[in-house]
Amino acid sequence: MRTKAEIISLLKNPGVIAVVRAQKAEQVIPLSEALIAGGVIAIEITMTTPNAIAAIREASEKFGERALIGVGTVIDGETCRAAIAAGAEFVVSPICRLDLIPIAQAARRPIMLGSYTPTEAQSAHEAGADFIKIFPADTLGPKYIKALRAPLPHLNLVPTGGVDASNVAEWFKAGVAAVGAGSSLVSSKILSEAAWPELTKRAREFVKAAAHAKQS
């Protein structure tokens, strides 16, 4: 079993978290295989996926050390506990639910809470959140991240929404710890057509862009 510190390190490197809203639970295994082949090992299975807890358990058991299987769209404590029990290695909420923090901490799992304002972001950090999910980030952009980090450089920011392969470098240059990539990576078209080779190609593009931005 990986330590919390090891999980945090892997979330930051390569720093691309796939936000998976699968149309059916059976898609989780093949899409995860495709993502891993492309270098994206952090896979956030959202609770909007049908039978998400069972899908998390199956993916965790199948991929083991090959991937980081996490849970997303967590908005209550019961779901948080169930997902961790099923094998989720990290927890993501789109909102600032501070009561989820002690649950994740007790299980030694990193947690990412959603925030939109500097006050929310700092409050989540002070309460013990390991990462701050800036959501929806598409209305804010990399300049907002840069501005936010000027007075609050200690925050591990993870923008989600509006992140794609063409602009991922801009987010990293602004100082993010990682990015969350949803439909721009795992699109509904890829899911409906089971276009797994295309998903692997997109994953490689994201990882390459992230790596290049970190080196420059």
Helix (H, G, I), strand (E, B) or coil at 156: coil
DSSP 160: B
Tokens of 100: 């989820």
User: Where are any strands of DSSP class E within the chain?
Assistant: 16-20, 42-46, 68-72, 91-92, 111-115, 131-134, 157-159, 179-181
Radius of gyration of the chain (CA): 16
Give the catalytic positions in this structure. 44, 133
Task: Give CA–CA dist 79/177, Å, rounded.
Answer: 26
152 CB neighbour count, 10 Å cutoff:
14
